[in-house]
Structure formats: structure tokens, C-alpha cells
């Protein structure tokens, strides 16, 4: 294998690290994977140094780091954590010869061509793609976690074209009177209500608080883990919040597919997708995905899948590293 490359997937809650090189089939191979809580460290540099001290092999000299933040210059400020860093300073502090920083959903998009059938779970029926050009396929990826990420992918010969976006921050569009009441509730909390305010870990908390207020019910749970556990026990407000989450996620996913022309498929990633996958697969997600008026027939032809690979962000960062560093 080639010399190892440090890869990382840094979200608002967890920091994931691994080493990577080209495997026997020349695709990305990952090993020495570790996952840490972001709030256990004061900075990304400190987390990297802690990871490197746990390695029992030569230290990597090159790295690709995926971050839950726009990457628009030399300074990175995370959207959902207090971490920030200078790319040049981090490269020097970590002793790296080369450092590339990419958006976390750009990494997720780069992972898609490397996913196996076992890394995906179908949501609804899986129709044949609408277009049959084997050289180019239009797809999109979105995923609720600590925040809500979105990207567009053009799969083609060679590395895919990944267009990272901040689509999770577009405005929330209610689909019925109850969702309009949720929007009114959240407008009392925030000057602007983006989709991320509902479709994320903190968004599930917002939905539960809104349900309790609108239905005049006592609040029975706190954070996302407690709300999901409450739904599993059949508690009414928790179940209502989780069902709303999956329904609104379906509407938003359909909008993303229309916006990006993702006729060949939409992929769901993110930690909340993994936690809520039974509800997503068995609830109203697919119905709301397809419910686009005059375009409903078009939407029925778009397959939707949940990504179940354990570390797709690391896989995508590794794919990016191999494409960029092979020469």
C-alpha cells in the first residue's frame, strides 16, 4: 500500500480520525480509526495531537480533513461548535507536508461511488434510474446530524464532481396547518427559521418543544436521545415529534432532488438518519418525498437510500486524498 495519509471527519459533536492508503483494489482503505467527543478538546489541533499519540507506526505527513463548515478561505469557523482554526497554522502545528480541508458533505459525496450494496438501505421501492447514461449520473446527498448538510454529486468517469452547499440553511416551508403552527412557534425563538432548526439533533428538540406547546402537553423528554427513547416507548409527544421529523425530512429531500436534478438518486447520511432509520423507512418520508404536485410522477422514479456505512465521512476524505495525492 502507499504511505499512510491522515483523514478526519470533524462534526459539531464528534471528531473522527483514521489512516488511509490505496487498498489492493486501489480504492481507499481505512485503519486505526478513533472517534472522540469534540467538547473534550479545546481545539482541533489538540484533538489531532491526541490521536497521533495513540498511533504505533510512523506519523503521516499528509492529511485531508473534512469539516462541518463552509470552506471559503484560509480560516475555518465551525457552524455548530466553538472550534476554529487557520489552515496554515494547523498544518505547521501538526507537522504536515500537505493539508487539504474540505466540507464534510463534500467528503460524503466523494464516498458515494465507493459504497457497497451492504452500505445502503433502500427507502421505499427502488426503481430503475430515469436516465441511463452510464457515463454520468446526477445524485444528491443530505444528512441531519448536529446540523444539516447537503451536496450535489455528478458521478462520471474518474473522480465524481461534488458541489458542496449550505442547503440546510434555506428557509423552512410548512406543508400543512400544523407545520405552520410549528413555524409560528419557532419564529418566537429565532429571527429566521431554517430547515436545520427542525431537521437536526437540536431540531428534534425544537419539534418536541413545539408539539408540547401546540398540543398543550407536558414536556416529557429533553435531548434527542431521550425523545427517540420516548418514541420507542410510545410516548405521544415524542412519537409525534419523531414522525414530524421524518415527514419534514421527506419534503425537504424531495425539494433537494428537484433543486439539484438528482434524477438518479438521493442518499441520506448523518447521525440522525442512523438513529431514526426505522421511522424513516416505515413512516411518511417517501410519501412526502414524492408529494410534489405536478412533478409527483417524476419523483416516484427517483430512488432514495440511507447510508449505513460506519464512517462514510472518513471514506470520502480518504477517496479525496487518493485522488489528490496519487501523482
- Residue 309 has phi, psi (to 5 degrees) of -55, 140
Residue 103: domain span: 5-110+311-325
* pTM to 2 decimal places: 0.88
Q: Please count the structural domains in the chain.
A: 2
At 28-48, the pLDDT tens digits run: 889 999 999 999 999 999 999
Decide: 241 and 282 in contact? Cβ < 8 Å: no
CATH number at residue 126: 3.40.367.20
| Whether residue 130 sits in one domain with residue 252 | yes
- What was the pLDDT predicted at 134? 60
Q: Are residues 104 and 204 in the same domain?
A: no
Asked if residue 280 and residue 197 are part of one domain, the reply reads: yes
Q: How far apart are CA 171 and CA 173, in angstroms?
A: 6
If asked whether residues 40 and 181 sit together in one domain, one would say: no
- Are 270 and 283 contained in the same domain? yes
Whether 145 and 285 share a structural domain: yes
Are 269 and 130 within one domain? yes
The closest alpha carbon to 188, from 174, 202, 209, 173, belongs to 209
Sign, CA torsion 210/211/217/223: negative
Q: What is the pLDDT of residues 297-325, one digit of tens each?
A: 999 999 999 999 999 999 999 999 887 75
Is the pLDDT at 129 greater than 60, yes or no? Answer: no
Q: Are residues 220 and 197 in the same domain?
A: yes
**Are residues 162 and 81 part of one domain?**
no
- Tell me, yes or no, whether 158 and 250 share the same domain: yes
Residue-wise pLDDT for 2-13, tens only, equals 578 999 999 888
Residues 206/189, Cβ–Cβ less than 8 Å? yes
CATH number, domain of 16, equals 3.30.420.40
Shared domain for 162 and 302, answered yes or no, is: yes
Amino acid at each position: 500500500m502507499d504511505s499512510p495519509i491522515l483523514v478526519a471527519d470533524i462534526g459539531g459533536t464528534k471528531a473522527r480520525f483514521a489512516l488511509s492508503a490505496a487498498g489492493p483494489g486501489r480504492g481507499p482503505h481505512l485503519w486505526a480509526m478513533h472517534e472522540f467527543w469534540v467538547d473534550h478538546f479545546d481545539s482541533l489541533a489538540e484533538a489531532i495531537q491526541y490521536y497521533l499519540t495513540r498511533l504505533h507506526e510512523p506519523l503521516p505527513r499528509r492529511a485531508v480533513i473534512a469539516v462541518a463548515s463552509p470552506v471559503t478561505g484560509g480560516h475555518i469557523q465551525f457552524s455548530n461548535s466553538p472550534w476554529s482554526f487557520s489552515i496554515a497554522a494547523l498544518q505547521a502545528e501538526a507537522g504536515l507536508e500537505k493539508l487539504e480541508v474540505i466540507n464534510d458533505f463534500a467528503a460524503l459525496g466523494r464516498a458515494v461511488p465507493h459504497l457497497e450494496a451492504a452500505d445502503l438501505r433502500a427507502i421505499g421501492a427502488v426503481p430503475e434510474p430515469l436516465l441511463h447514461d452510464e457515463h454520468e449520473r446526477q445524485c444528491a446527498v443530505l444528512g441531519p446530524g448536529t446540523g444539516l448538510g447537503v451536496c450535489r454529486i455528478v458521478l462520471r468517469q474518474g473522480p465524481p464532481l461534488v458541489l458542496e452547499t449550505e442547503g440546510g440553511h434555506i428557509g423552512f416551508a410548512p406543508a400543512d396547518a400544523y407545520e405552520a403552527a410549528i413555524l409560528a412557534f419557532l419564529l418566537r425563538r429565532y429571527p429566521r427559521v431554517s430547515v436545520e432548526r427542525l431537521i437536526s439533533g437540536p431540531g428534534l428538540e425544537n419539534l418536541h418543544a413545539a408539539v408540547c406547546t401546540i398540543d398543550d402537553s407536558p414536556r416529557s423528554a429533553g435531548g434527542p436521545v431521550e425523545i427517540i427513547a420516548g418514541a420507542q416507548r410510545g410516548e405521544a409527544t415524542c412519537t409525534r415529534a419523531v414522525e414530524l421529523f421524518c415527514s419534514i425530512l421527506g419534503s425537504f429531500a424531495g425539494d433537494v432532488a428537484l433543486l439539484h436534478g438528482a434524477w438518479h438518486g438521493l442518499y441520506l447520511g448523518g447521525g440522525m438518519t442512523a438513529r431514526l432509520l426505522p421511522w424513516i423507512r416505515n413512516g411518511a418520508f417517501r410519501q412526502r418525498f414524492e408529494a410534489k404536485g405536478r412533478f409527483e410522477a417524476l419523483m416516484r422514479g427517483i430512488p432514495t437510500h440511507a447510508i449505513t456505512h460506519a464512517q462514510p465521512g472518513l471514506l470520502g476524505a480518504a477517496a479525496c486524498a487518493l485522488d489528490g495525492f496519487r501523482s
